[in-house]
Structure 1
Amino acid sequence: MLSELQKKAAQAIVNVFETGRPQGDYGKVTYHPKDPGELTYGRSQTTLASGNLYLLVRDYCAAPDAAFGPHLSIYLDRLANRDRSLNFDERLKGLLREAGQDPVMRDCQDRFFDRVYWEPSLTAAKNMAIASALGVSVVYDSRVHGSWQRLRDLTTDQMGNPSQVGEKAWIEGYVRRRRDWLAQHSNALLRKTVYRMESFRSLMDQDKWGLELPFVVRGVLIDASVLLEPAVRVSAEDADAARLLRLQTPALHGSDVRRLQEALVRAGHAVTVDGVFGPETAQAVRAFQKASGHLKADGIVGPATRAALGLES
């Protein structure tokens, strides 16, 4: 049984492979024409072609208080049908990037990747008598990256199963064969991912079978401070109640934006109170500033505009 810290360490390795960050990048959107997964998204990069992107977005849209749920819900049918034109839909990509900043989306992704990838990896590892944290991470990486069963069966046919040859020997053999398979793959993108197996090989050489901290993957330090850092950090409005509010990408969102929108409504401006600083809110801010007669109508909410709206500075 892996500890919670070992689980985080195992997942951090794959997060680094997928997004370059131990905590993952919840808003990362990627598309490459030679990637069989097509449009990919999120902390561990789930794909349009697999149908899992649809499942993730569906979960998010069904969640209470999903800030971008109404906007993304119009894409659900096309996501379910794996519509390849979505690979080029810049509005969808922008919405996904912005949604990645929403704590609701982050929570959905954590639960989704556990359910779809991590828990099946634990089951697969258990069925193979693989118990080490590093061994489980290898299985998890292969299930995220693809072709776990194919390379598992090839390794077992050539070596026997882990119970016969020992877990460490089997994992070493699997990593070696998977690296060779990737290196010789017809898809040039997959050939470039041999670093994944080389990273695991390096951890084996360091005898990090329990994923003892600290260790380095692809130049990224993974230690307790990184793994225990909350994926959703203290929001800017909690750290600084007077942050500038303006239209940007990803969109600002939070309780301070909601208070702004409520103040604009009280001032007679039509704006949706959803806690997201979008174009509608920016337009309402400019209208309020222009009507005041003394504020610069730039759509930016600083101390002067806050004071005029009766908000705390």
Structure 2
Amino acid sequence: MQLTQLQRSAAQAIVSIFETGRPTGGYGRVTVLQGDTGRLTYGRFQTTLGSGALYFLIKDYVERPGAIYVSALAKYLGRLLKRDGALDHDGALHRTLKAAGEDPVMRQAQDDFFDRNFWTPAVAAARALGVTTPLGVAVIYDSKVHGSFERVRDRTLRQVGPPSAVGEETWISAYVANRRAYLAQHAQPILRKTVYRMAAFERLIRDDNWDLDLPFKVGGFRIDEKTLRAGPAKGRAARILAPADTPMKGDDVREVQARLRELGYGADPTGAYDDDTVELVRKFQEAHGLKVDGAVGPATRASLETARPATPNAAHAEAAPEPAVLAAAPHPA
């Protein structure tokens, strides 16, 4: 069994649509699914906190040379290992994960992680069963990502026997029907809703598209060669804000100023990276052990995103307004 690169990409695109709502996913995507055992999920393939997989992904990332957000994410490893549910609502972590999705090192870490933990095991499981078609591999890959593969595999083997006895197409069709029933009757309501995954596979089976010939549609998305070769959409990387004779201007400057203000540095969100803002950035960098250059690059940006508000320095504290003096209200006679 040897899938072409396009067939492999097509199989992964199907599962990406199920997981992220896009054929090629999003490396910086952060979601929290209430009622799901995964809870906080992250990345192109929605790696979950509840399964423990998010810990291993972040651990892999921070150990890679050149990773930008090492200090900002390494401090969460202990809590990720414990699957701390409070991380579902940790805004600083969520912001850092989103930003890290633009780091090429994180993108490669996610691709390698899913190849190692899901795609390669799915291909091995398909080979062990004698499943060779791209659609059959896609069905097994989806189960490896979503869960329940072994349970449904064993149920299908008991019902119809191995693929070698009934034919691969018959076996995969029975497997999909069994998995639909398994999901539809699941104790967790949120998983009952995921029967749409099986509906998509049933449609491909009805279309006799066992080779995943392009183009085809899943979940309203057209999967074609152009989509697959384009790869995951890349967000616009944050520019480095640096001191200049003519101050840089923009919403990104205003966001940094607003964040400095939240942290007690008293910046006015003017949108201009002027001398006053540069000086406040320098003070922030000095207080957080960063290179003091007045520029907001990846390291300073990550620290801004994860820093906690502190009592502002007296020099930056704003004077509280004097309370208004109210005239005594007349009493009724």
- Same fold by TM (over 0.5)? yes
Measured after TM superposition, the shift of residue 93 of structure 1 is: 1.5
Counterpart CA distance in 2 for 1:247 and 1:144 is: 40
Partner amino acid, structure 2, of 1:94: R
Q: How many residues align?
A: 265
User: 1 or 2, which has the higher helix percentage?
Assistant: 1
- For 1:86, the equivalent position in structure 2 comes to 87
Counterpart CA distance in 2 for 1:121 and 1:237 is: 36
Question: Where do 1:1-313 residues align within 5 Å?
Answer: 1-231=2-232, 233=234, 246-247=252-253, 270-271=293-294, 274-275=297-298, 278=301
Quick one: structure 1 residues 272 and 112, their matched pair in 2 at CA, closer, same or farther if it must change by over 3 Å? Answer: farther
Could you list the structure 1 runs, at least 4 aligned residues long, displaced by more than 4 angstroms after superposition.
232-238, 242-245, 247-250, 279-282
Counterpart CA distance in 1 for 2:233 and 2:31 is: 22
TM-score, normalised to structure 1, is: 0.77
- Whose RCO is larger (CA < 8 A, sep 6+)? 2
Measured after TM superposition, the shift of residue 130 of structure 1 is: 0.5
Partner amino acid, structure 1, of 2:293: A
8 A contact 1:23–1:227 mirrored in 2? yes
Counterpart CA distance in 2 for 1:73 and 1:272 is: 23
Quick one: structure 1 residues 199 and 279, their matched pair in 2 at CA, closer, same or farther if it must change by over 3 Å? Answer: closer
Partner amino acid, structure 1, of 2:90: D
Please give the root-mean-square deviation of Cα atoms over the aligned residues, in Å. Answer: 2.8
SS of residue in 2 equivalent to 1:111: helix
Partner amino acid, structure 2, of 1:172: S
The alignment-based identity, stated in percent, is: 47
8 A contact 2:204–2:210 mirrored in 1? yes
Partner amino acid, structure 2, of 1:246: D
Counterpart CA distance in 2 for 1:236 and 1:68 is: 14
SS of residue in 2 equivalent to 1:228: helix
Partner amino acid, structure 2, of 1:270: D
Partner amino acid, structure 1, of 2:202: R
Partner amino acid, structure 1, of 2:252: R
Deviation digits for residues 181-224 of structure 1 (CA, Å, limit 9, x no counterpart): 11111211011000000000001111110000001100011100
Counterpart CA distance in 2 for 1:235 and 1:96 is: 15
SS of residue in 1 equivalent to 2:76: helix
SS of residue in 2 equivalent to 1:63: coil
- Structure 2: 5+ residue stretches without partners: 240-247, 257-277, 283-291, 306-333
From the CA coordinates, give the structure whose radius of gyration is larger: 2
Counterpart CA distance in 2 for 1:237 and 1:87 is: 25
Counterpart CA distance in 1 for 2:24 and 2:219 is: 14
Counterpart CA distance in 2 for 1:64 and 1:174 is: 43
Quick one: structure 1 residues 144 and 95, their matched pair in 2 at CA, closer, same or farther if it must change by over 3 Å? Answer: same
8 A contact 1:247–1:277 mirrored in 2? no
Measured after TM superposition, the shift of residue 64 of structure 1 is: 2.0
